[in-house]
């Protein structure tokens, strides 16, 4: 089955208002920029985004955030986007913060059919006990807070129950894909991308290179094509920004 689509706009055409979307990337590494931009050309709004973070202002998911397309996000780190903070504290955005490893496992669990699991992460904090602000009123008071979660002891240690995540769509960036959807990720771009792909009912991949079946060594496949429904080609020289560039002052250079 050939899963290659003509372009990103065609591949995301089924994303509609109210859709839930898992989006790969860590910071701005391994982010499916072209697929996100394609969603931005649709009329879809009121989106629930599941991603490690929400991009930067005007970059990646930050574009959809700036346009008011996102109503809810489940993430583990949001400290690099000032507009995100503004929307959250002004009651424009619902935010579910979750430990990073828990977020990863919630998506993996959704992909393999596990409805929930127990983890030690978050025990003894508001993650387990509830009370984390999910949404604020415009006056700064808490409108919706997280509920307490079930805890249980195993071998004398307390664990908290976390539910898996299954989304309508996933947007993923890969280095190489074959025409049936087997994927290879480049180094640290193999972050949340495989997990997002697993968690979605319909996974859309942008790949820098597309090859025929059999050209990827089976041992080199990072994610099998069973988790992928659509693949589009993007330029290998497509946007790959540097989040923070640190250089030495000139007077320190020998």
Residue whose entry in the numeric block shows the structure tokens 């490690």: 52
In this structure, the number of other CB atoms found within 10 A of the CB of residue 156 comes to 5
pLDDT in tens, 29-79: 899 999 999 999 999 999 999 999 998 888 889 999 999 999 999 999 887
Domains of the chain, first to last: 8-115+164-233 (3.40.1080.10)
Dihedral angle computed from the Cα positions of residues 217, 221, 225 and 230, in that order, rounded to the nearest 10 degrees: -100
Question: Is-contact 204 169, C-beta < 8 A?
Answer: yes
Distances (CA, A) of 107 to 15, 203, 206: 19, 13, 20
| pTM score, whole prediction | 0.91
Pairing of strands 20-23, 116-119: unpaired
pLDDT in tens, 93-126: 999 999 999 999 999 999 999 999 999 999 999 9
């Amino acid at each position: 089955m050939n899963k290659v689509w003509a372009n990103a706009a065609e591949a995301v055409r089924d994303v509609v208002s109210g859709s839930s979307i898992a989006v790969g990337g860590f910071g701005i590494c391994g982010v499916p920029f072209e697929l996100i931009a394609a969603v931005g050309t649709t009329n879809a709004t009121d989106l629930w985004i599941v991603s490690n973070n929400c991009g930067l202002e005007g970059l990646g998911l930050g574009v959809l955030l700036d346009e008011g397309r996102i109503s809810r996000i489940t993430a583990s780190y949001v400290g690099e986007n000032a507009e995100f903070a503004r929307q959250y504290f002004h009651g424009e955005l619902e935010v579910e913060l979750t430990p990073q490893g828990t977020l990863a496992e919630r998506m993996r669990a959704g992909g393999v059919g596990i409805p929930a699991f127990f983890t030690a992460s978050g025990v003894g904090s508001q993650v387990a006990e509830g009370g984390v602000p999910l949404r604020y009123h415009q006056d700064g008071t808490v409108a919706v807070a997280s509920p307490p979660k079930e805890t249980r002891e195993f071998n004398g240690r307390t664990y908290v129950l976390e539910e898996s995540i299954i989304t309508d769509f996933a947007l993923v960036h890969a280095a190489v894909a074959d025409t049936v959807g087997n994927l290879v990720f480049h180094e640290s771009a193999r972050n949340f991308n495989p997990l997002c792909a697993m968690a979605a009912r319909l996974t859309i991949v942008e790949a820098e290179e597309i090859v025929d079946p059999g050209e990827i060594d089976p041992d080199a496949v990072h994610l099998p094509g069973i988790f992928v429904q659509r693949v589009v080609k993007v330029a290998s020289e497509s946007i790959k920004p540097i989040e923070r560039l640190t250089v030495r002052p000139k007077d320190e250079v020998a």
